Amino acid sequence: MSRGNTDSKRQKPFVIGVAGGTCSGKTTVTERLEDVVGVDRLAVIKQDSYYIRRDHQSFEERAAANYDHPDAFDWELTNRQLHELISGGTVEVPVYDYPNHNRSDEVMVVKSAPIIVFEGILALYDESLRSQFDLKVFVDTDADIRFIRRLQRDVVTRGRTPDSIINQYLTTVRPSHLQFVEPSKRHADVIFPEGGRNDAAFDVLLARVRELLG
């Protein structure tokens, strides 16, 4: 009987929550882990997929919303889909439309895997979500570096103007980071100082993954 229980525990996916400020290097950590363990052994879902629908709002209202506040996310759907993946299921993750500031009608099918990574600015904020993680990571990068990366990214990939990015950063991104994102760092098991390229921190993460996966 005890042997059967051990086998069941081994089959349960190893779940990693990766948090950190905007453009801190969360995706870098995930991609580095994927390179080591292989794409077939890792499933990734991103918190941006779970922004609430804003069909009732005008484009101007959506553009002015605070997307770094906990209220911007659908926590019920987030927790339910992560639980389904942990249980071995397959989920249809929403696809977010950044230029229109709203959830699209498309979905992305994500299958369970031995390692599941949940990545997002507030990955460590919600207690219910946090309780589903086997390992909690926070990527800590200086604010000026994060802002420059966000400016470059949003102009190139999200169709936004520099003025709109600067305004959003000052009015919502920075205040919410200080109020919600930064304090969540205290829940982390592993902290990546100076971004996702920190080799020492990545070695610690990889050692934990290999130890717990066996």
**Residue 205, domain member (yes or no):** no
**Residue 207, domain member (yes or no):** no
Expressed as residue numbers, the domain containing 153 is 13-195
Total number of domains constituting the chain: 1
**Residue 129, domain member (yes or no):** yes
Q: How many CA atoms lie within 13 A of 111 on its CB side?
A: 5
And the tokens for 170? 């000052």
Q: Could you give the CA distance from residue 37 to residue 54 in angstroms, rounded to a whole number?
A: 37
Residue 196 pLDDT grade (very low, low, confident, very high; cuts 50, 70, 90): confident
**Residue 210, domain member (yes or no):** no
**Residue 132, domain member (yes or no):** yes
Q: Could you give the CA distance from residue 22 to residue 72 in angstroms, rounded to a whole number?
A: 15
Q: Residue 6's pLDDT is what?
A: 43
Query: What rounded mean pLDDT belongs to the chain?
Result: 91
Q: Residue 209's pLDDT is what?
A: 85
**Residue 152, domain member (yes or no):** yes
Q: Residue 5's pLDDT is what?
A: 46
**What's the CATH number where 114 sits?**
3.40.50.300
> Between these two residues, 156 and 132, which has the higher pLDDT value?
132
| Residue 4 in this model has a pLDDT that exceeds 70 | no
Name the pairing type of β-strands 115-119 and 135-140. Answer: unpaired
**Residue 204, domain member (yes or no):** no
**Residue 211, domain member (yes or no):** no
pTM equals: 0.89
Give the model confidence (pLDDT) of 51-94 as tens digits: 999 999 999 999 899 999 999 999 999 999 999 999 999 999 99
